[in-house]
Amino acid sequence: MRAAAPAGDTAATVPFTHQPALVLELARAQELDVGAIRAAAGLADMPAALTLAQWRELLAATLRAFGSAEAPFVLGRHLLPGHYGAASHALREAASLRDALERLVRFQPRLSPLLVPRLHVEGGLAVLYWTDACRLGALRPALVEMQMSAVASCCRWLAGRALPWTFCFDRAAARHAEQHEVHLGTALRFGCQLDAMLIDAHWLDEPWPAAAHPGAVAASRAAEQAAGAEAMPRALLAALYDLLLDRVGDPPALEEAAAAFGFSPATFKRRLALEGTHYQAELDQVRRHECLRLFRFGGLDNEAAARHLGFHDAANFRRSFKRWTGSTPALLRRGLFDFPA
């Protein structure tokens, strides 16, 4: 889904009574020392809301305290739909997989604060993939596992049956891949160019049990409107991705992007540096993801892909592509999303 205008906020927060409280309660149920977890995260007390960085550190400390490769999957099973106000209610009222995924995307700041879910449907395939809302570093693989477990479990509960997802990971096979099979199933792909869940698009509009209730349509719309009224700001990296994806064929210069967010170029650079990134890296990520789409669904050759992404010649595009992916366009095309019909 492409945004028409940026609306990022580096001060995006997570209410403590939402996911942080849930995760700490799950830790307490396992007889873990919640006080020690908070101390390890640098939280002497618990404010009404955590910054994304504080929530990241608290979650990292919780996972260390669990000390188990299956902890992300176990925590993920409890995350969605959750009890996060109207956004969770709207997710529970979803009448189909499409409804659920679109609401997960729309209400991301409440439902998935650290990882930004993005939905793309094309060529008979639905792709749910994630980008960072803030700097995640070494924590990202565990968060991806947690969010995949959350989405798969939530959709299983809402649909009344398990759905045939394929799980793709932007990394080599994990040392504890058996945990992935136990919690996600055997349809696993490692060494992909993004973290994503794939499913045949015909599942998107299969009616779910919520759709059969009297007044279901009105209840679903009311829940979505209420969640919209409680919408929280998107983090800067999430909004910047939106802007760059919308302008992928003619990307703005750094100065133009900074102005779109109300920053001077120097301030914009500092804000991105605080997230452990820089403008070119964020633009390269968007271009890489768009290449995956073009090669999987568009059937474009290098020259056409280069033109689409604003490159002046195919040779420059190939060099950039090798830098983004570590592969050549020809090699990537052969194995990209080899998804069964």
- What pLDDT score does 291 carry? 86
DSSP 3-state of 3? coil
- What pLDDT score does 336 carry? 58
pLDDT in tens, 206-233: 999 887 776 667 767 777 787 777 778 8
- What global pTM score does this model have? 0.90
Average pLDDT per block of 10 residues along the chain, 341 residues long: 44 90 96 96 89 96 95 96 92 94 95 96 94 94 97 97 95 81 92 91 94 71 76 90 94 96 97 94 92 81 85 86 81 58 39
- What pLDDT score does 334 carry? 62
* Per-residue burial over 72-101, b = 16 or more CB atoms within 10 Å of its CB, e = otherwise: bbbbbbbbbbbebbbbbbbbbbbbbbbbbb
Q: What is the DSSP code string of 116-153?
A: EEEEEEETTEEEEEEEESS--GGGHHHHHHHHHHHHHH
Q: What is the DSSP code string of 260-309?
A: HTT--HHHHHHHHHHTT--HHHHHHHHHHHHHHHIIIII---HHHHHHHT
pLDDT in tens, 143-186: 999 999 999 999 999 999 999 999 999 988 877 778 899 999 99
- What pLDDT score does 338 carry? 54
Which is nearest to 76 in space by CA: 132, 135, 5, 152? 152
Contact 27, 107 (CB under 8 A): no
Name beta bridge partners: 197: 128, 167
- What pLDDT score does 213 carry? 75
Q: Which two tokens stand for residue 106?
A: 């729309």
Domains defined along the chain, listed by start: 13-67 (no CATH), 69-230 (no CATH), 236-336 (1.10.10.60)
Question: What span, in angstroms and rounded, lies between the C-alpha atoms of 173 and 188?
Answer: 9
